[in-house]
Amino acid sequence: MLSFIGRRLLQAMFVLLIISFVSFMIQDKMGDPVRQMVGQSVTLEQREALQQELGLNDPMLIQYGRFLGRAIQGDLGTSYYYKEPTIDVIASRLPATLELSFAALVLVILLAIPLGVFAAIHPKNLLSRAVLLFSTLGLSVPIFIVAVFLMYFFAIEWGILPSFGRGETTSVFGLWQSGLFNRDGLRHLLLPSLSLAFVLTPIFIRLIRAEMTDVLQSDYIRYAWAKGISAPRIYFIHALKNTMLPVITVGGIQLGTLVAYTILTESIFQWPGMGLLFMDAVTRVDVPLISTYLIFVGVIFVVTNTLVDVVYSLVNPRVRIPGYS
C-alpha cells in the first residue's frame, strides 16, 4: 500500500512539473498582463517599468526557476486581479465547483443506473428504445446548447428557476460556503447541474446497458436463475456488481473532467466556481492564477485516478495493481 502511494506521489510530481512548465511556456502567447491593468494613456515607459517590476522581462527559464523555488515553499504566486495568493482564490471558489459536480454526479447515478439496467433487461421495450434514443441525443448535443435551452425554457419563458449565480449560501463550520442547505441555493443549483447531468448520463446508460447485457448471458447468472433466486436479487446484486468495474473506471475519469471542466456550464450560468474563475483569469491574463489553476486540475486528475485504482481492487479483489497488495 505504502509503496503504491509513494509511487503515485512520484508520478504526480512528475506530471505537475510538466504541467507547470507548459503553463509557463504559453504565458507570453496569452498577452500582456500589465496592459490589462492600466489605462490607455499610461506611457510605454511606465508599462515597461511595471513589467520589469513583475519580472516579466527575464528569460522564461529564469522566471520558471523563480516560480519553482517559491512553489517548493508553498507559494504559487499572487493573483494580479484578486491581489491574494492564488491558492486562496482557488480555495474560495472550490466549494461552488465541488457542489455543482457533486449534484451533477448524484443526478447521473440516479438516472443512469435504473435506466441502464432497465434497458438491458428489457431490450425490446418501448421505453428502452426511447432511453437509447435520448442517450444518442445527449452524446451528440454539446453542453452549451443544452444549458442555453434549459435556461431559455425554465428561467426565461416559464420563469420558475433562476438563471444565474449561486443564490444564498450558508456557512458550514465557517469553512465552507454551501448552497445545499437552503431552498434558494438548491433552486440555483438545479439548472447547471441538470445540464451537466444531461451530457454525462448517456455515456453511463450505454455503458451499464452493454455490460449488463453481457453479464446476463454468463453462466453464473443462468445458474442463479436455475437455483430460483428472486429476479431483483439477480439483477441488482449479482449482475449489477459485475457491471460496475468499467463504470468505475470511466466514472473516475469523468469525475475529474467534471470538476476540472465545468468551465462552459459555469460561464453560462455565471456560477462562481473555478471554471468561471479560470475563464476570467484568461481574459485578464492573470498568469499566476492560470498556472495555479492548471496545476490544481492536474492534482485533481492524479487524485481521482489513484482513488479509482483503490476502489477498483475493493470491488474486484482479483485485480492486482503493481505495488499495491
Partner 1 sequence: MLRRLLIILCLGLSSMMCLAVDLRVALDADPISLDPHEQLSEGGIQYSHAVFDPLVRWRQDGTFEPRLATSWEVQDERTLRLHLRQDVRFHSGNPLTAEDVLFTIERLKSSIDFKALFNVVQDVDKIDDYTVDIHTNHAYPLLLNILAYVFVVDKTFYEGRSEIVKFGQTFASTNVSGSGPFTVRDRVVGQRLTLVRNPDYWDTQSVGNVEQLELLPIRSDSTRLAALLTGGVDVISPVAPIDIVRVQRTPNVKLLALTGTRIVMLQMNQARRVEFQDIRVRRAMNLAVNQALIVEKILRGYGEPAGQLSSAAFLGHVSDLVPQSDLERARELMKEAGYQDGFRVTMMAPNNRYMSDERVALAASAMLAKINIQVDLKTFPKAQYFQFFDQQAADIMMLGWQSDTFDSNNIYEFVLACRDTDTGMGAYNAGRVCDRKLDDAIVLANQEMDVAQRVALLRGIEMRAVDQAWVIPLYWQPIIWASKQHVDLESVVNFLNFPYWGDLHVSVP
Q: Indicate the residue among 34 and 117 with the shorter CB distance to partner 1.
A: 34
Q: Which own/partner contact pairs does 9-12 have at CB distance under 8 Å and 24+ positions apart?
A: 11/302, 12/298, 12/299, 12/302
284 binds partner 1 (CB under 8 A): yes
What's the Rg (C-alpha) of the chain? Answer: 24
Q: Indicate the residue among 253 and 279 with the shorter CB distance to partner 1.
A: 279
85 binds partner 1 (CB under 8 A): no
Stretch that binds partner 1, among 105-113, 131-139, 147-155, 235-243 (CB under 8 A): 147-155
Quickly list DSSP for 19-88.
HHHHHHHTGGGS--HHHHHS-TTS-HHHHHHHHHHHTTTS-HHHHHHHHHHHHHTT---B-TTT-SBHHH
Stretch that binds partner 1, among 12-20, 45-53, 119-127, 315-323 (CB under 8 A): 45-53
38 binds partner 1 (CB under 8 A): yes
Out of 100, 263, 285, 290, the only residue in the binding site for partner 1 (CB under 8 A) is: 285
Biggest alpha carbon distance in the chain? 86
Residue type, 84: E
Dist. CA 11–CA 189, nearest whole Å: 36
190 binds partner 1 (CB under 8 A): no
Which residues from 254-273 bind partner 1, rule CB under 8 A?
Answer: 267-270, 272
Dist. CA 282–CA 214, nearest whole Å: 46
155 binds partner 1 (CB under 8 A): yes
Asked if 20 contacts 72 with a C-beta cutoff of 8 angstroms, the reply is no
Stretch that binds partner 1, among 59-67, 209-217, 226-234, 277-285 (CB under 8 A): 277-285
Q: Indicate the residue among 71 and 276 with the shorter CB distance to partner 1.
A: 276
Out of 18, 25, 42, 68, the only residue in the binding site for partner 1 (CB under 8 A) is: 42
Q: What is the dihedral of CA 276, 282, 287, 290, to 10 degrees?
A: 40
Give the closest residue to 192 by CA, choosing from 86, 270, 305, 88: 270
Compute the least distance from the CB of residue 244 to partner 1, in Å.
38
Compute the least distance from the CB of residue 306 to partner 1, in Å.
32
Per DSSP, the three-state class of 171 is strand
Dist. CA 75–CA 71, nearest whole Å: 5
Out of 114, 280, 310, 313, the only residue in the binding site for partner 1 (CB under 8 A) is: 280
Binding site for partner 1 (CB under 8 A): 29-46, 50, 53-54, 78, 80-84, 148, 151-152, 155-156, 159, 162-165, 267-270, 272, 277, 279-280, 283-285
